[in-house]
Amino acid sequence: MADDPQRPLPRRCGNWSATLGAYRLLNNDRVEPGALIGGHVRQTRAMCSGGAGEPVVLCVQDSTELSTAHELPVTNLQEALFIVECHRQRWRIEEWRRAQKTDCRLKSSPPRDVDAFRRPAAISAVIAVRLLQLRDLGEDEQADNPAKLQQVVSDPLVLQVVARLAKVDDPTTLTPRQFLHTLARQGGWLARKHDGRPGWQTLRHGRQKVHAYADGIRLLHPT
């Protein structure tokens, strides 16, 4: 589901039994959204408790509008820089929201009620984190580490397709940077010298094309 959030639910599930199970899950009033993201929350808490290696971990509460107001005292340069870093991290939250709305199609089908909205929103929240990790992975210090890509992209056929498009002979040597840039080029990113980072719409279009190639291969060579 995270590999291609744009797919309709039946195509994501793969067969009719799994599709019915997914619909029952999303429409079941006894399913709590908090339980759907419980594993993600536990992993985040474990990271914040010491695994992140940071002296301060910001837990930023998102809101509809980006506010620059704060109530923390600023009496020296160090405190001012801390406030700046807090606001800088808000843009990362905004990027997560864009991934959730644009790539996960959170607003594409209005729900019947609030509870019906909360269940798919909980699932898409975790998927959006994974998408954000994939994009950041293509730009950070691990951007040239093929092993990191294997941890994020679970479909081996997608890796093979992207490797062929990137003219990489061995898919296991494909780096996160090559993967990200190849998706972006498939989505229309020109990769000119002064072009900015690929946007969510561009990556979405590129991922759709790559998964269409993979689907075609599966139809021609069913296993």
Sign of CA dihedral 194, 197, 201, 207: positive
Domain ranges of the chain: 1-137, 144-223
- Check whether 90 has a pLDDT greater than 80: no
- In the numeric block, the tokens 């001012």 are attached to 80
**CB 206, CB 191: distance < 8 Å:** no
- Check whether 158 has a pLDDT greater than 60: yes
The residue-averaged pLDDT of 36-50 equals: 73
- In the numeric block, the tokens 């080029």 are attached to 185
DSSP 182-197: HHHHHTT----TT--P
- pLDDT given for residue 170 in this prediction: 94
CA separation for the pair 93, 125 (Å, rounded): 11
CA separation for the pair 77, 71 (Å, rounded): 16
Q: pLDDT tens, 16-30? A: 888 888 888 877 878
Selection from 28-42, 85-99, 207-221 with the highest mean pLDDT: 207-221
- pLDDT given for residue 167 in this prediction: 94
- Check whether 153 has a pLDDT greater than 50: yes
Roughly how many angstroms between the first and final C-alpha of the chain, as a whole number?
Answer: 20
Sign of CA dihedral 106, 93, 31, 19: positive
Which helix (H) or strand (E) segment holds residue 208: the answer is helix 200-220
The residue-averaged pLDDT of 136-157 equals: 86
More confident residue, 68 or 155: 155
More confident residue, 51 or 182: 182
3-state secondary structure of 26: helix
Selection from 36-50, 69-83, 86-100, 144-158 with the highest mean pLDDT: 144-158
